[in-house]
Every structure is written in C-alpha cells, then in structure tokens.
Structure 1
Amino acid sequence: MSGHFTDATVRVRVPATSANLGPGFDALGLALALHDDVAARVTASGLEVEVSGEGADGVSRDETHLVVRAMRRAFTAMGVECPGLALTCDNRIPHGRGLGSSAAAIVGGLLLARGLVRDGVSRLPDGEILELACELEGHPDNVAPCLLGGLTIAWMEGATALAVRRDLDPAIVPVALIPPFTASTELARGLLPATVPHADAAFAAGRAALLVAALTGTPQALLAATEDRLHQSYRAPAMPDSAQLVAELRSRGHAAVISGAGPTVLVLARGQVEAESAMSAAPQDWTSMVLVVDAPGAHVLADTSL
C-alpha cells in the first residue's frame, strides 16, 4: 500500500440540497437533512462498487460512477495515484428530482478521496474542494450548500467558485413534495431563453435580495420573496404537474417553489401548522417530507466501519 494512503475506511455523510429557491437562480441553495452515506477504503488493485437505496437499480458500478469520478479527480488534484478502491454508497436522496443527488455524489467523492490521503487536507483545502465540485457539477448552487451546510449564496469569479454561508431563521420549516416521476436538468436548462426582459431581471434582483433577508430573519416576507420571473415559468412545460402544484400552494399563501431543476416542489413553511397544510396539498402518489436544515454540511463520520 502506498505511503500516501490511510489503511482505514473513510465514511462521509452528504446532505440533499435545494437550489434557486425561487428568484435565486444559480446562486441560492439550502442544505436539507436527507443524507447519502458513502464509504471507501484503498485496496491493492481494482474497483468494487456497492450501491443500495435510491437509484441502486440505475447507476453504474464502474469508473463512470459519479462518486468514483469525483474521487479520481481529487486524487489527481492531490498528485497521488490510488492503486484500488472499494466503495459503498447508501443512498437516500432521490435521483432526478431536483434535490441535489449529483452534487451529493460529487462532494461525497471529493471528501472521501481527501480523507483517504494522509495529508489530504493540506493537499486539498476546502476552497479547492468547492472549486473541483463546481467544475464537475457545472455550477455552484447545489455543491456549495452540500459542502458548507445551511443557506449559501454562491457565485463565480472567472473560473473560481465562491460561496458564503448563513443560518436559516429557525421559524422556517422546509417541506419537500416529491413526485413519482423524474425530470432532466439538461432539458430544464434547455427551455430557458437566452435573454429576459429588463423588467424581469430587475424584479428578480429585488426578490433575490429580499429572499436572503426573509430566510435569515424576516420569514413573514417569504411569499413575496420567493416570487420568480427568471426560470420557473419557462420550465413549466417540462413539469406541468409541479408547476400547477406551485401555483395552487402559492394561491393559498404558501412560499412554494420548484426545487432546483425540479420536479420536486419545496415549500418554505413558517411553522409546523403551515408545513402540515402544505403537505396536505400534495397529490396522493407524491411523497411529502418535512426536512430540517442541515447545518454542518458534508462531513467525515467518526465511525469508520464499512
């Protein structure tokens, strides 16, 4: 075994995330306490991948697996070559539903690789983890909250991904209404226009600024703050049931948005009573979940059993 690597099994817990939150397109994200657990150890050669839970029937078990791809990218960035890997994934985040399953896989893989290298933290500090995650994901709005926890505002300076983290107002109760069908992020992005009217851009800027204030201390403003003119209406044809549910919930006073690229609907409820009211509006074949905010973000677990 190379002297670069630990002999222990490293285990990482990564949260689900909801991006955009209405007008905060490609910038705002929220970490949610629905987790995937991934574990890995270095072996003499080869690759072993075990997957259970969400998406187990549809994901690859070879080098194309997203966690493995992220690990390989991290090893390259640290200047080490791993002889072999044994990887176990216990997935709870639904795939293709707008809850950040790909961001979780990427961040989990990067942290696993860093944890397996003896001086990994010095070779690959947190800022570089965010940059690599953004490189693999294509945008920072999901990977930032997955890595940092809480509420994040992410942006790009050239090719560099940056983010700031804030705590959510404790009165806010996130509710995820998850449909039985999936949506394609690529298709959803393909429906967006190249330009939007100046008035809509100005509206979005104001609402996004208000949304940060609402999420961090003024929850009574959430309904107005989550109003969006940048992306949800353009994507509605790809997920009409979700768009209809958002409209219905908002007509009843709930701060409802499409989670990420959809089709999950996220409600930022103000208290448990409002959360239960939002859950009652979900169609019968949808899954309703009250989720607390994940404050710590992705982290290595003390238990190193595989």
Structure 2
Amino acid sequence: MIKVRVPATSANMGPGFDCLGVALNLYNEYGFEEIEDGLVFEGFPKEFSNKDNIIYKSMLKVFEVCKYKTKGIKIKLLKNDIPIARGLGSSSSCIVAGLVGANNLLENKLSENDLLNLAVEIEGHSDNVAPALLGGIVIAVIENGKIIYEKIENKNNLSFISIIPDFKLETEKARSVLPKNLTYEDSVYNIGRAALLAIGLNNGNNEILRTACKDKLHEPYRNSLIKGIDLIKKEAYNNGALASYLSGAGPTIMVIVERLGCFTKSMEAFLKTMKFSYKILELSVDIKGAIVIEGDK
C-alpha cells in the first residue's frame, strides 16, 4: 500500500486572496492500493465512502490523463488531523492526496507541475492546493490556463498559531457574502499589502507584517460570520502577535508570532471567556508538502 501524507494549509494570509497560502505541520495521511475489482474505503465516514469522494475523483483525473484503466481501488484514511470546514485546507488535502496517490501507483508518470495544474483544475484556485502539494509559503497565479508560482522563504522561522472554533463554516457560505464588485481603492489597498507581505516574509522584516496582513477584499464581509473575531485579534496583539488574519474562508483565525513564550496560555485563558469554545494549535511552516511516506506495490 502506498501511503501519502499531506499538510494542512492556510490560504489568503490576509490580502493574498485566492493566490497566497502556507503549508503547516498538521497532517492527514491516506493509503492507496490497486485491487482486483471495485472501490473500497476504509476509515471514512459512510457519507464519504462512495464514488463522489473527492480523493477518488482526483485519482480518476490522473488515470484519465494517463489513459489508464484501473481494475479496482482501495483508499484508506490513516490519519485525520486536519479539521473539516475550518479554513485549514481539508478538501485540498484530499485532492492533492488523490493526485499524488494515483500518480505513484502509475510510477509517477506525471510531473509535479502536471499534478499542480490538475489540482487547480479540480479546486478552482491555487491558494490551498499549491502549498499542500509543494510545501512552504507559495504565491501562485493562473496564466493562460497554466500555474505560475514562486515560493517565499520563511526567513525568521515564524510560528503560526491556529485558533480553531468549535463550529464549521462551509466555503460556499463564506463565498456567498462576498461582494460582486470591488472598488478601485480597495483593490489598490490589497495589491500593496500583498506585495508588502511577500517581501516582508522573504526579507525577514517582521515589523511590517501587521500592516501587510490587512485585507479589504474578503475579511470585512466574512467577519460577520465569525462571532468575536475582532476581540480575539485585539487580544492576540495585546499578547505580542506580529499579525493575524482569517485562515482561508474561516472560521479559523491565524496568528503569526515570532516567539511563543506565554502566548498560547494567555490566549487560552482569554478564550475561556468567549461564547464559543476554541482549540489552539501551535504550528510551523511545512516545507515538504505532499510526500509518499511509504510505498510498496
């Protein structure tokens, strides 16, 4: 059985809407095996154990491109640490795992770029799937139907603190509150900050991160769906955070810190006063992306 590990991701990072994301050291692991006949799922909830499973559908994309007809497939959920519908790339982990697993079964006929383009074709945008596949902090855009990307170096080895609420927020709902049109002023605001964030991270200039992570394209509209987000961000800054932003479509709030110190304990004490319960994870950047951790045929 081929075993694939895929990291969680945090997309947008404030101003980088649909084009900027970071891979984090929180993982799902999946097993893949070609069998004599049929489709077998192990470890998945019943509602995901069918042909509509996004992992299986992603595998079929690889088989289709490679003109390969499989006899049967077994997919096993080995580790499931990425929370669903929390803005940490759970669906992207499934897409990337299916692509990498299928490609490995075919002895890697497709290149990494081939897989990335297929992932974006399935997902619709690159901010989660690119870091999930490639690792690190990634800027990725679509040009003439192809993905152009570049990695940003995490010079100061920053920590990413995930504040995860106990309620889900489906991406479809989070996108439904976005405006159909944007002002020229708001667009320029985000362009400047996205550029500032990229160069600040790459140069290790932490002083500009708070300004650089600000956004006017999606967070002002989605914040209404996440009770207490302004208070949580304010408390994070009171405890020394460098920056904070809404992870993906939410509802997870991501906080960037340089030194952990007592940050997590202080935030946990504060969050106990909030209406909803929260889980805090101390994470760092995963630089490897999706990997095959064990494989035998």
TM over 0.5: yes
> Which structure 2 residue ranges, 5 or more long, are not aligned?
none
Give the structure 2 partner of residue 3 of structure 1. none
Cα deviations across residues 115-171 of structure 1 (Å, max 9, x unaligned)?
Answer: 0013xx3x3111110111011111110000001100000101132222212221234
Pair 1:191 & 2:177 matched: yes
8 A Cα contact 1:167 1:295, kept in partner: no
Q: What is the aligned counterpart of 2:228 among 241, 246, 259?
A: 241
Tell me the matched-pair count. Answer: 290
Q: What is the aligned counterpart of 1:225 among 194, 205, 212?
A: 212
Could you tell which deviates more after superposition, 231-240 or 272-281? Answer: 272-281
Give the aligned CA root-mean-square deviation in angstroms: 1.9
Cα deviations across residues 238-268 of structure 1 (Å, max 9, x unaligned)?
Answer: 2233354235434665311110000001001
8 A Cα contact 2:5 2:291, kept in partner: yes
Give the structure 1 partner of residue 260 of structure 2. 272
Residue 275 of structure 1: how far off its partner (Å): 4.3
8 A Cα contact 2:152 2:198, kept in partner: no
Which residue identity lines up with residue 159 of structure 1 in the other structure?
A: G
Pair 1:287 & 2:285 matched: no
In structure 2, do the counterparts of structure 1 residues 32 and 117 end up closer, same or farther at CA, with 3 Å as the change threshold?
same
Give the structure 2 partner of residue 37 of structure 1. 29
**Structure 2 Cα separation of the partners of residues 24 and 304 of structure 1:** 39
In structure 2, do the counterparts of structure 1 residues 265 and 222 end up closer, same or farther at CA, with 3 Å as the change threshold?
same
In structure 2, do the counterparts of structure 1 residues 202 and 277 end up closer, same or farther at CA, with 3 Å as the change threshold?
farther
In structure 2, do the counterparts of structure 1 residues 96 and 45 end up closer, same or farther at CA, with 3 Å as the change threshold?
same
In structure 2, do the counterparts of structure 1 residues 171 and 295 end up closer, same or farther at CA, with 3 Å as the change threshold?
closer
**Structure 1 Cα separation of the partners of residues 135 and 239 of structure 2:** 30
Pair 1:105 & 2:99 matched: no
Could you tell which deviates more after superposition, 182-191 or 11-20? Answer: 182-191
Q: What is the aligned counterpart of 1:211 among 182, 197, 204?
A: 197
Q: What is the aligned counterpart of 1:141 among 116, 120, 127?
A: 127
Percent identity over the alignment? 36
**Structure 2 Cα separation of the partners of residues 166 and 244 of structure 1:** 30
Cα deviations across residues 81-115 of structure 1 (Å, max 9, x unaligned)?
Answer: 11101110121100000000000000000000000
Give the structure 2 partner of residue 115 of structure 1. 104
Q: TM-score, normalised by structure 1?
A: 0.89
In structure 2, do the counterparts of structure 1 residues 192 and 58 end up closer, same or farther at CA, with 3 Å as the change threshold?
farther
**Structure 2 Cα separation of the partners of residues 42 and 289 of structure 1:** 36
Q: Secondary structure at the match of 1:240?
A: coil
In structure 2, do the counterparts of structure 1 residues 282 and 154 end up closer, same or farther at CA, with 3 Å as the change threshold?
farther
Residue 39 of structure 1: how far off its partner (Å): 0.8
Which residue identity lines up with residue 218 of structure 2 in the other structure?
A: H
**Structure 1 Cα separation of the partners of residues 234 and 61 of structure 2:** 41
In structure 2, do the counterparts of structure 1 residues 274 and 130 end up closer, same or farther at CA, with 3 Å as the change threshold?
farther
Give the structure 1 partner of residue 71 of structure 2. 83
Q: TM-score, normalised by structure 2?
A: 0.92
Pair 1:48 & 2:48 matched: no
